[in-house]
Structure 1
Amino acid sequence: MVLMTMIARLVDGLPLAASVQEDEQSGRNTLEYQNQAKMLFRKLNTQSPPFCSIETGPYMFHYFIDGEVCYLALCEKSFSKRLAFAYLDDLHNEFSSQYGNRVATVSRPYSFIEFDTYIQKSKKSFMDSRSRRNLSTLNTELQDVQKIMVQNIDDVLQRGSTLSDLDTKSSNLAVLSQKYKKDAHYLNLRSTYAKVAAAAVIVFVFFIYFWVL
């Protein structure tokens, strides 16, 4: 079952369209997962894997990046991974056809909220076992979904702070390295001066000794 669908602009994480499925029977509340999705959008960039599945509690986020847009769905873990990415691919084809040339120009969140109508139609098609598309017609990029990377939501959302910590540690190491170099230079100078002084003392002692003789 697809519980939530969100589409966002990749460059800044701006939500463009969304559709949330509330299951009153089990009392599910997707607010927490909406917040996770928004944080996830802010983490993703052009270097992120174009296809990825992310575990979050009893559910899975599946996302698909194409150009400047990220398509994301929150599904039950039992929901077919192949169907999830086929669903996202279908949304991508329709959304890019309708709004592709306007994505970069909007500044208001959910500027294409009317796309929810198509999301509901597509979701019903992929969730209804009697009307599921023939998966053999999907493009080759979606054929081997088992190879799509699977991550954990905590790892993904905390990666930014981890990288910041590494940057801080690197900076500290650089400072300590400079300090070590200065200290080593100072110690080398002291060692050199001590050797020169010791040699001078020896020469002076020999001079006094031979002078006395």
Structure 2
Amino acid sequence: MIGFSMITKTRDGLPLCGTTDMRSEDQSEDYHLAYKDLKSITKRLSKFPDRCSYTPNSYSIHFISAVGLTFLVLCESSYPVVLAFSFLDEIQKEFLQEYERDKAVEASLRPYAYIKFDLNITKIKARYNNPRSLRTRLDLSALSQEIKILPPYVIHPDEFKYPGGKSASLTSFRTAASSERHFVSLDLYGWLSVGLNILCSLLNLTRGVSIMNDGHVDSLDSETFQYAIAFFLCFLFFGYQVYLMSCPTSMRKPLACATLGSICLCQLYLWEHRTSMQMLFHVTVGCAATFTIFTRQIQEKLPQYNL
């Protein structure tokens, strides 16, 4: 259920309106800790994206920012994310309809200058705390789809405080977001591509080692040594394709193209040591891996998107 909601100015975190129906004695320790985190977040709202979520314990904090205002809600972590953001969207629309945006954002206001809007929030919260009677359920499909496509940015605790509780300067939230991204599970074709790449990588390593051993390293001529290096490079390129298929790096697509081009060049250089079928096999495996890298989807979403 929703426990607390507030409206602040994004620029400086000045609270314009806030409401709670819970008595202090009924609030758990987790609630108090999450509330303190919410207050810490309001001090640096301008550093975060327009839609964010943070779950420190059994409670979650969600907020949206627009036109210089931020709308925040503190609710139980089991409360559906799509309902929490629908609640925030409804508060935002009603607030902007009732008050002039420029007056609310630009004017120098005292804290809780719009405390009367608490009644509006209380009415909306009552409906959202009783989902069975929520008439807007059928209207949530568009928002649910939007959240699936563009999920909220998940805030990490280190982005607004040190472990000791002191405020810290915000690190790049985009870097933190990318570190939490992960691929969807590989299908049969993807696993086949990984297996064939590992096979090609090992075959090239074996050929390279064989050439070095047959030539007794010390007596290797320049051309034979270059062929051995080419085999070792193929070993590395096929291994790197496995890495690109497994890790969601931001530059994986251009890197995949460069790796495939290098594999093709190596095959042309090694044409005297390989049959046409062997060259075709290696190039085909490289192309298949590149296709997997391009088509494998990145998943970065919060749980509880669905109602």
Q: Name the TM-score class by shorter chain.
A: 0.5 to 0.7
Name the residue aligned to 1:4.
Answer: 4
Name the residue aligned to 1:43.
Answer: 44
Report the TM-score, using the length of structure 1 for normalisation.
0.67
Q: Does 1:101 align with 2:102?
A: yes
Residues 159 and 170 in structure 2, CA contact (< 8 A), matched pair in contact too = no
**Pairs within 5 Å for 1:35-114:** 35-45=36-46, 48-99=48-99, 100-103=101-104, 104-114=106-116
1:16 and 1:24 mapped to 2: Cα distance? 21
- Structure number with higher strand proportion: 1
Which entry has the higher C-alpha Rg, 1 or 2? 1
- 3-state DSSP of counterpart to 1:18: strand
Name the residue aligned to 1:210.
Answer: none
Change (3 A) 1:107 1:142: farther
Greater mean alpha carbon deviation, residues 17-26 or residues 135-144: 135-144
Residues 91 and 124 in structure 2, CA contact (< 8 A), matched pair in contact too = yes
**Pairs within 5 Å for 1:155-194:** 155-158=158-161, 161=168
Name the residue aligned to 1:20.
Answer: 20
- 3-state DSSP of counterpart to 1:96: helix
Greater mean alpha carbon deviation, residues 8-17 or residues 34-43: 34-43
- 3-state DSSP of counterpart to 2:55: strand
Greater mean alpha carbon deviation, residues 77-86 or residues 123-132: 123-132
**Pairs within 5 Å for 1:121-160:** 121-138=123-140, 140=142, 143-146=145-148, 147-152=151-156, 154-158=157-161
Residues 63 and 71 in structure 1, CA contact (< 8 A), matched pair in contact too = yes
What code does the residue aligned with 1:144 have? E
Change (3 A) 1:161 1:5: same
What code does the residue aligned with 1:3 have? G
2:43 and 2:158 mapped to 1: Cα distance? 14
What code does the residue aligned with 1:96 have? L
2:138 and 2:145 mapped to 1: Cα distance? 8
1:28 Cα offset (Å): 2.8
Residues 10 and 69 in structure 2, CA contact (< 8 A), matched pair in contact too = yes
Q: Where does structure 2 lack aligned partners over 5 or more consecutive residues?
A: 172-307
4+ long deviations beyond 6 Å: none
1:130 and 1:161 mapped to 2: Cα distance? 42
Report the TM-score, using the length of structure 2 for normalisation.
0.48
1:24 and 1:9 mapped to 2: Cα distance? 26
- The superposition leaves residues 72-122 of structure 1 with CA deviations (integer Å, 9 ceiling, x where unpaired) of 000101101111000000000011111223212142000001111001100
Change (3 A) 1:42 1:132: same
1:120 and 1:9 mapped to 2: Cα distance? 20
2:44 and 2:91 mapped to 1: Cα distance? 22
1:130 Cα offset (Å): 3.0
Count of paired positions: 162
- The superposition leaves residues 138-195 of structure 1 with CA deviations (integer Å, 9 ceiling, x where unpaired) of 484553324222223x22313873569xxxxxxxxxxxxxxxxxxxxxxxxxxxxxxx
Name the residue aligned to 2:247.
Answer: none
Higher relative contact order (CA 8 A, sep 6+): 1
What code does the residue aligned with 1:130 have? R
